[in-house]
Chain A
Amino acid sequence: MLGEMLDGYTRSLLIFAGINAIAAYSFYAPYKTGQVSLGQAGFMAVGAYASAVLTHKFGIPFAAAVVFGGILSGVIGVVVGFPALRIKGIYLLLLTLGFSEIISVIALSWDYIGGAQGFRGIPFNQYTLDYVVGIIVVLILLFARIERSSLGRAMDSIHQDETAAEVMGIDVVRIKLFAFGLGAVIAGVAGALYAHQATYIDSSTFNIMVSVEILMFVVVGGGSTYWGPVFGAAVLNAIPEVLRSLRDWLEIVPVAWTNFYPMNRIYDSLHDFLDFENAKRLIAFGLILILMMIFRPDGLLTRDSLHRLRFWHRKARHA
Chain B
Amino acid sequence: MREAVTSNICLTIEGLTKRFGGFYALNDLNMEVAQGHIHALIGPNGAGKTTFFNLLTGVLSADSGKIIFDGEALDDVRPSKRTLRGIARTFQNIRLFPHLTVIESVMIGEHCRAYPSVWKALSKAVFQPPFCEALEEREMRARAIELLEFLGLADKRDEKASDLPYGEQRKLEMARALATQPKLLLLDEPAAGMNPHETEELDDVITRIRDRGITIILVEHDMRLVMEISDRITVINFGIKIAEGPPDKIQNDPVVIEAYLGEDVQL
Which residues does A use to contact B, with CB under 8 Å? 142, 145-146, 148-154, 156-157, 160-161, 163-175, 178, 224
Is A145 a contact partner of B108 (Cβ separation < 8 A)?
A: no
Give me the 8 closest cross-chain CB pairs, A-B, nearest first: A169-B112, A169-B83, A149-B125, A151-B121, A164-B95, A160-B97, A166-B79, A174-B118
Whole-angstrom distance between the alpha carbons of A266 and B180 in the complex? 68
- B interface: dominant SS: helix
13 sample A-B contacts, Cβ–Cβ < 8 Å, listed by A number: A142-B126, A146-B126, A150-B110, A150-B124, A150-B125, A151-B124, A164-B96, A166-B79, A167-B89, A169-B109, A171-B116, A173-B80, A178-B122
Evaluate whether A154 and B121 lie within 8 angstroms (CB atoms) in the complex, with A145-B128, A167-B59 already known. Answer: yes
Other-chain contact of A160, B100, B113, B115 (Cβ < 8 Å): B100
- Write out, one digit per residue, whether chain B residues 44-72 have a CB within 8 A of any chain A CB (1) or not (0): 00000000000001010000000000000
Is A153 a contact partner of B79 (Cβ separation < 8 A)?
A: no
Is A172 a contact partner of B99 (Cβ separation < 8 A)?
A: no
Chain A nearest CB, measured from B205 CB (Å): 19
Question: Which residues between 133 and 185 of chain B lie within 8 Å of chain A, taking CB atoms?
Answer: 134, 136-137, 140, 176-177, 180
Neighbouring A residues of B110 by C-beta, 8 Å: 150
What residue of chain A has the Cβ atom nearest to residue B126's Cβ?
A145
Is A153 a contact partner of B100 (Cβ separation < 8 A)?
A: yes
What residue of chain B has the Cβ atom nearest to residue A164's Cβ?
B95
Q: Does B213 contact A (CB under 8 A)?
A: no
Other-chain contact of A171, B57, B89, B91, B112 (Cβ < 8 Å): B112
Chain B nearest CB, measured from A145 CB (Å): 5
Whole-angstrom distance between the alpha carbons of A238 and B177 in the complex? 47
Other-chain contact of B121, A150, A163, A164, A169 (Cβ < 8 Å): A150
Other-chain contact of B78, A152, A157, A173, A178 (Cβ < 8 Å): A173
Is B91 a contact partner of A156 (Cβ separation < 8 A)?
A: no
Is B111 a contact partner of A167 (Cβ separation < 8 A)?
A: no
Chain B nearest CB, measured from A168 CB (Å): 5
Neighbouring A residues of B89 by C-beta, 8 Å: 167
Q: Which of A156, A170, A175, A178 has the most CB of B within 10 A?
A: A170
Which residues does B use to contact A, with CB under 8 Å? 57, 59, 78-80, 83-84, 88-89, 91, 95-100, 104, 107-116, 118, 121-122, 124-126, 128, 134, 136-137, 140, 176-177, 180
Is B108 a contact partner of A170 (Cβ separation < 8 A)?
A: yes
Neighbouring B residues of A168 by C-beta, 8 Å: 83, 88, 108-109, 111-112, 176-177, 180
Whole-angstrom distance between the alpha carbons of A173 and B128 in the complex? 25
Neighbouring B residues of A152 by C-beta, 8 Å: 125
What residue of chain A has the Cβ atom nearest to residue B113's Cβ?
A169
Chain B nearest CB, measured from A283 CB (Å): 34
Is A150 a contact partner of B140 (Cβ separation < 8 A)?
A: yes
Chain B nearest CB, measured from A141 CB (Å): 9
Is A153 a contact partner of B99 (Cβ separation < 8 A)?
A: no
Other-chain contact of B125, A145, A163, A175 (Cβ < 8 Å): A145
Is A166 a contact partner of B140 (Cβ separation < 8 A)?
A: no
Additional A-B contacts beyond A172-B80, A224-B99 (12; CB < 8 A)? A150-B107, A150-B111, A150-B136, A161-B97, A163-B79, A165-B97, A167-B88, A167-B89, A168-B109, A169-B111, A169-B180, A170-B112
What residue of chain A has the Cβ atom nearest to residue B186's Cβ?
A167
What residue of chain A has the Cβ atom nearest to residue B140's Cβ?
A150
Is B125 a contact partner of A151 (Cβ separation < 8 A)?
A: yes
Neighbouring A residues of B100 by C-beta, 8 Å: 153, 156-157, 160
Whole-angstrom distance between the alpha carbons of A165 and B97 in the complex? 9
What residue of chain B has the Cβ atom nearest to residue A174's Cβ?
B118
Chain B nearest CB, measured from A167 CB (Å): 5
Whole-angstrom distance between the alpha carbons of A168 and B78 in the complex? 12
Neighbouring A residues of B99 by C-beta, 8 Å: 156, 160, 224
Neighbouring B residues of A173 by C-beta, 8 Å: 78, 80
Whole-angstrom distance between the alpha carbons of A160 and B99 in the complex? 8
Evaluate whether A161 and B95 lie within 8 angstroms (CB atoms) in the complex, with A166-B78, A168-B83, A174-B118 already known. Answer: yes
What residue of chain A has the Cβ atom nearest to residue B53's Cβ?
A167
Other-chain contact of B137, A145, A150, A166, A178 (Cβ < 8 Å): A150
Is B121 a contact partner of A149 (Cβ separation < 8 A)?
A: yes
Neighbouring B residues of A150 by C-beta, 8 Å: 107, 110-111, 114-115, 121, 124-125, 136-137, 140
Chain B nearest CB, measured from A120 CB (Å): 39
Chain A nearest CB, measured from B176 CB (Å): 6
Chain B nearest CB, measured from A302 CB (Å): 11
